[in-house]
Amino acid sequence: MRRFLPVLAVSVLSLLYRLTQALGLMATDKSANPRELQRVAKRSKYWRLHGWLMLISVVIFSPFAFSSIYDRMAFLRQNRLLLLIGFNRYYLMPACAFATLWIHCSKQAEIVECLNRLLQCRRRLRKLLPSKALRDSLDTLSNGKHLIQFGLLVVSIMLSTSQPLQVLRDDPEVRRNFTYASSLVFVYACQLILQLSLGIYTLALLFLGHLVCHSNQLLARILDDAGRILKESLRARFGPIRQQLYREQQHWLALELWRLIHLHGELLKLQRCISSLYEVQVVCFVVNGPMECMVHLFFTYFMRYSKFILRKYGRSFPLNFYAIAFMTGLFGNLLLVILPTYYSVRRFARTREILKGGVYEFPAGTSEKRLKQTLHYYGLFLKNVDYMFTDNVCGLFKLNNALLFCIVGAMLNYLMILIQFDKVWNK
C-alpha cells in the first residue's frame, strides 16, 4: 500500500498537469531529456498560444452563456434576490476565470521562472545537507502528510463537480437545448480553471514548505555543531593547536551559515513571488466560494423546512446530497488555500525561533568573530523579515486562521438573516 500510493499520486498529478495545459493555465513543455525534465521547465509556444485562445473564448462565450442560462432558468427572473444569486454563479464565475487566464497568460514567464527557482533552491539545499538521511528526506516528497494534503485537494475538486452534474442530469431542458447544456458546461469549466489555478498555488506552497522545513533542520544542525564546538573549546583552553582547530571549525560553520542565509532569503522571495502571482485568484475564490456555500445552505434549508414549500407542494423535499457534496468541496478547497499559506508563514517564523534558541545555548564570549558576525546578521535579517515581506493579499487581508473564522461567521450570520426573512414572509 505504501508503494502504491506514491505511484497513484504521481499519476493523478500528471493528469492534473495535463488538465491545466488543456485549460490554458500552464504553458510548459517537457523535454525529451530526463535530466532536463528534473532540472528545468521551459515554455512552449504552442501551449502559450493555446492559453491566449482559451482567454479569447472565455471573453466571447461568457455573455452568450449567461444569456442562455437566464432565458432557460425561469426562477432567475422571479425577483432580484434570485437574479443576484444567479449573477454570482453564472456571471461572476466567468469573470474570475477571465482574470485567472489573463494572469496565467501574461505572467507565464514569471510562473515558469518561479518554478525553476524552486528547483534551483532544492539543488542548493541538497548540497548543504550534511547527511544522507536528510538528503533522502528532501528527495522524498511523497510522505504521509503531503499525500494527505494532495488527496484532500483532489477530493475537493471532485466533490465540487457534484452540483453541476446534478443540474446536467435532472434539468430536462439540457437534452432539448444544446446551447443551454454547453453554457452550463462552460460555467463549470470556468470554476475548474479557478480551482486548478489555486491547486497550483497550494502545491507550490507545499513544495516550498518542504524546503523551508529542511532548511530549518539544517540551521538547527549547524547551531548544535557550533554550540558543541564552543563548549569543547572551553575544555581545551590552553592547547593552541586545538584552539586553532576549533577556530577553523567555527569559520567553516560561519561559511555554511552564510550560504544558508542566502538560501533562506531566496525562499522568502519565492514565498512573496508565489503570493503575488496568485493573489487575484485567491481574492476571487475567497469572495465567490463562501457566497456559493451560503446560497446552497439556504436553499437546502428552504427546500426542507420552509412553509412556502410545505403549502405549495404539501411536503418537504429530501436533503440534496449533491449540494452538500458541492459545499464540502468548495469549503475544502478554501481550507487548502488559507491554511497552507498560514503554515508557510509559521515555518518562516520557526526559523527565527530556532536561531534564537540555538544562540542562547552558546557559552558567553567564546565564539569566533566571523561566526558571531554571521549570527548577528542572520538575526537582524530575520527580525526585519516582517517588514520586508508582507503576506497581505492585494493589501486587503491576511490568509490566516482569523480570516477563516471571519468567513465562517459571516456565512452563518447571513444565513440566519435569510432564514429570518423566510420565516417573516412565509408565516
For residues 278 and 344, what is the distance between their CA atoms, to the nearest angstrom?
Answer: 15
Is residue 393 helix, strand or coil? strand
* Residue 297 confidence (pLDDT): 84
Average of per-residue pLDDT across 99-128: 89
Q: Among positive and negative, which fits the CA dihedral 140, 141, 145, 147?
A: negative
**pLDDT higher than 60, residue 35:** no
Q: Among positive and negative, which fits the CA dihedral 74, 77, 79, 80?
A: positive
For residues 28 and 40, what is the distance between their CA atoms, to the nearest angstrom?
Answer: 10
**pLDDT higher than 90, residue 135:** no
* Residue 370 confidence (pLDDT): 66
* Residue 31 confidence (pLDDT): 46
- pLDDT tens-digit readout, 207-266: 998 898 888 888 888 777 777 776 666 665 556 666 666 667 667 777 777 788 888 888
**pLDDT higher than 50, residue 32:** no
28: β partners: 43
- pLDDT tens-digit readout, 267-278: 888 888 888 888
Q: Which of 248, 244, 249 is closest to 228 using CA atoms?
A: 249
* Residue 238 confidence (pLDDT): 53
Average of per-residue pLDDT across 72-100: 76
Average of per-residue pLDDT across 384-398: 69
- pLDDT tens-digit readout, 49-75: 888 999 999 999 888 888 888 777 766
Average of per-residue pLDDT across 98-119: 89
Q: Which of 309, 288, 304, 306 is closest to 418 using CA atoms?
A: 306
- pLDDT tens-digit readout, 410-426: 888 888 887 887 777 66
